[in-house]
A and B are shown apart, each in its own frame.
Chain A
Amino acid sequence: MAKSVKVYSTSTCPWCIRVKQFLKENNIEFQNLDVSGDQLAADEMMAKTGQMGVPVLDIDGEIIIGFDKEKIKQLLGL
């Protein structure tokens, strides 16, 4: 079964763009949450990670801060 993937991002951050590109290239479906416009999503991200840096990925409850390609690959079995 496909894993649930959430991306907390802003529209301007270079690594957010890269991480979304990477997921698209690998045909991974994800939910994009723009934390700049969505205060609830921002609060959720800060509560999950205790920090404010983007991007943050939530892959079935496992949290990855930043574009950590190796860890993303590992969690998604790529």
Chain B
Amino acid sequence: MPIYDLIIIGAGPAGITASVYAARKKLDFLVISLDIGGQAAWSGDIENYTGYQFITGPELAQKFEEHMRRYDTALKEGEEVLEVKKSGEIILVKTNKADYQSRSVIIASGKKSKELGVVGEKEFKNRGLTYCATCDGPLFSAKVVAVIGGGNSALDAALQLTKIAKQVYIINNTVELGGDAIMRQKLKAATNVVILNNSKVLSVLGNKFVSSIKIKSSDQEKELAVQGVFVEIGLTPNVAFAKDVEKNQKNEIKVNLRNESNIPGIFAAGDVTDVLEKQIIIAAGEGSKAALSVFHYLSRKVF
């Protein structure tokens, strides 16, 4: 079995940028990822990635992918990492398809949508319940929908839906909506939005597709007839495979200025880490830092 210099886990902005730097340093490396583009591919309009005054998420992800593929990078797409473990000086990476060995690893596996954890959520996923308003929103033309959450991603989803759906409920479990003031203003100006604060979802009901949700609103239980449920309650890091790596309270991997984790040889970059601020451009920058740190680590160390 070959021993790679580096295995990069994830191909979002951080992982792809790390791969470009690793290729230019002529490292013998591999990229393993379930998808390409990560959360960037799911973003709507991007207006703050320097060099692009306006670009959509899928287009930027496509540019990233082209940049990565320019270097004949070995890419295992659609492969899921199950375990990362250090054994002696070597790091073992086990996926759903194969086992690999490497001298170093960059974890750039990003974040995924948090689930509600209520009855009916799994059953009705893609049957009216979704985690991506950008993707599935247009299917709910002239329907009644509920957005669950009260932060920026929930407000963004609700705003998109005000233009599509007949009516939009926002189910927010705090006293009032969070997020940016400018988005809250836009929502308040919309005529087809009902904001329910101090409310949480108890269950999702339906037959073949979603037909209603049961909520508890200011201590009263009630049922709302909706055909769509958009879950936007935040994100959680993809770290289940990295049990030995130290994390913070949000389950983000703790890294230092060099993107090193607590385990020598295991680095991390982007939204999966405790880096301050989660932005595409920051994730990309962190990916480059991590790859350069790996390069220094490998050149210092005799294997």
**A: which residues have CB within 8 A of B?**
10-18, 21, 35-37, 39, 42, 46, 50-54, 65, 69-70
Contact = CB atoms under 8 A, between A and B. Distances in A.
Given A12-B134, A14-B37, A14-B41, A52 B57 contact: no
A10 B138 contact: yes
A46 B164 CA distance: 19
B138 A50 contact: no
B141 A36 contact: yes
Contacts of A53: 126, 130, 135-136
Contact of B139 (A15, A36, A50, A69): A36
B135 A12 contact: yes
Contacts of B57: 14
A10 B136 contact: yes
B264 interface: no
Contacts of A36: 138-139, 141, 164
21 contacts: A12-B137, A13-B132, A13-B134, A13-B138, A14-B42, A14-B57, A14-B135, A15-B41, A18-B62, A35-B139, A37-B138, A39-B141, A42-B139, A50-B127, A51-B126, A52-B128, A52-B136, A53-B126, A54-B136, A54-B139, A69-B77
Interface in B41-66: 41-42, 44, 57-58, 61-62
Contact of A52 (B37, B41, B126, B134): B126
B138 A11 contact: yes
Of B130, B137, B139, the most chain A CB neighbours within 10 A belong to B139
Nearest to B36: A18
Interface residues of B, number: 25
Contacts of B164: 36
A17 B56 CA distance: 11
Contacts of B136: 10, 13, 52-54
Nearest to B37: A14
Contact of A21 (B62, B128, B135): B62
Contacts of A39: 141
A44 B22 CA distance: 47
B209 interface: yes
B280 to A, nearest CB: 14
Interface string B100-142: 0000000000000000000000000011101010111111010
Contacts of A18: 41, 58, 62
B179 interface: no
B296 interface: no
A12 B138 contact: yes
